[in-house]
Chain A
Amino acid sequence: MAKKLKFDSVKVGDEIPPFVVNGVTRPDFVRYAGASGDFVPLHYDQTFVEAAGIPTVFAQGMFTAGLLSKALTDWAGIGNVRNFKVRFATRVWPGDIVTCSGKVTGKHESGGEKLIEGDLIVLNQKGEAAIRGSFRAVAA
């Protein structure tokens, strides 16, 4: 079985250890485009974005959400996430340093499962939120 958080040792207010990407890159966006099939040109085609009046390509929201999901599963264990919800705020640009983390806001037992709930956030180097979200995960 997957490693699970120990329900009794998780406390409200506990932080999810941050996952920091020290400067996301255009190749990161291209790799995500290929892996996901998201070929919206806003994320890799400089000519296209300039014509649209945008200074440079920017990250797919779901690329950044993917980085956030890694921070969550590193902590809660792969296979233990029951709900993952993200709301996109500020765009993420090439070179941005993104910090993915979260915080436990509640715990309860339901249907024989021990559940942990919390908030998620991705911040850029200016402290602006690129994503705000929430999660629910099972613990042991």
Chain B
Amino acid sequence: MADKSIVGRTGKPFKMPIEWSKVREFARAIKDPSPEYFDPEFAKKEVGGIPVPVTFLQTSAFWTDESSSPGFGGVDLRRILHGEQEFELLKPIYVGDVLTGVSKIADVLEKEGGRGGKMTLLVSETEYTNQRGEKVAIARSTLIETGQAVKA
């Protein structure tokens, strides 16, 4: 089980280039055909560039290498559930931007759970800064480590 001692641990900064092909592929996957994601001229006129869907930054979680993860230490991945996800969107993000993300462990909490017995909540935060040094977003993720294997 993870404990409080890992709070504040930070991963190595990682780059996240915002690419149109990935943005429109993601928009299609969430069934959003809005022209802002598919028509560059329309997007430029309407919103100043091709924007990213609200949850798009989640994709960075899956192609950063291990050194960019703050590391939860001792966590049994078979007992992990995604409990909550939050995005604070501070400034616009457009295709062509290159973001730098830094992830840290924000909190570790113990809680009595239902199906899986005692739970540990692991809260991680990733801050994204653009190529001009502006903080554009914060993604906050709560993973739940259950005390025993989770039943379907």
A residues with CB within 8 A of B: 1-3, 21, 28, 31-32, 34-39, 52-55, 61-63, 65-67, 69-70, 72-74, 78-79, 81-88
Determine whether the beta carbon of A88 is less than 8 Å from that of B82: yes
Most buried by B among A36, A52, A81: A36
Determine whether the beta carbon of A67 is less than 8 Å from that of B31: yes
Given A39-B62, A72-B54, A79-B92, CB of A65 within 8 Å of CB of B85: yes
A42 to B96, CA, bound (A): 33
Q: Which A residues are CB-close (under 8 A) to B59? A: 35-37
Q: Is B89 an interface position by the 8 A CB rule?
A: yes
Nearest B-chain residue to A71, judged by Cβ:
B32
A67 to B30, CA, bound (A): 5
Determine whether the beta carbon of A62 is less than 8 Å from that of B55: yes
Nearest A-chain residue to B142, judged by Cβ:
A87
Q: Which secondary structure dominates chain A's binding surface? A: mixed
Determine whether the beta carbon of A34 is less than 8 Å from that of B25: yes
Q: What is the size, in residues, of chain B's interface with A at 8 Å between Cβ atoms? A: 35
Determine whether the beta carbon of B29 is less than 8 Å from that of A78: no
Nearest A-chain residue to B54, judged by Cβ:
A69
Determine whether the beta carbon of B51 is less than 8 Å from that of A78: yes
Q: Which A residues are CB-close (under 8 A) to B110? A: none
Q: Which A residues are CB-close (under 8 A) to B87? A: 83-85
Determine whether the beta carbon of B36 is less than 8 Å from that of A78: yes
- A57, chain B: closest CB distance, angstroms: 11
Given A35-B59, A37-B62, A53-B152, CB of A73 within 8 Å of CB of B54: yes
Determine whether the beta carbon of B152 is less than 8 Å from that of A66: no
Q: Which A residues are CB-close (under 8 A) to B32? A: 66, 69-70, 73
Q: Is B22 an interface position by the 8 A CB rule?
A: yes
- A44, chain B: closest CB distance, angstroms: 13
8 Å CB interface, B34-90 against A:
34, 36, 46-48, 51, 53-55, 58-59, 61-63, 81-90
Nearest 4 interchain pairs by C-beta:
A66-B30, A37-B62, A35-B29, A69-B54
Q: Which A residues are CB-close (under 8 A) to B25? A: 34-35
Nearest A-chain residue to B144, judged by Cβ:
A88
Determine whether the beta carbon of A79 is less than 8 Å from that of B51: yes
Q: Which of B28, B34, B61 contacts A35 (CB 8 A)?
A: B28
- B106, chain A: closest CB distance, angstroms: 14
Nearest A-chain residue to B35, judged by Cβ:
A78
Most buried by A among B30, B46, B63, B86: B30
A31 to B83, CA, bound (A): 22
Q: Which A residues are CB-close (under 8 A) to B26? A: 35-36, 66
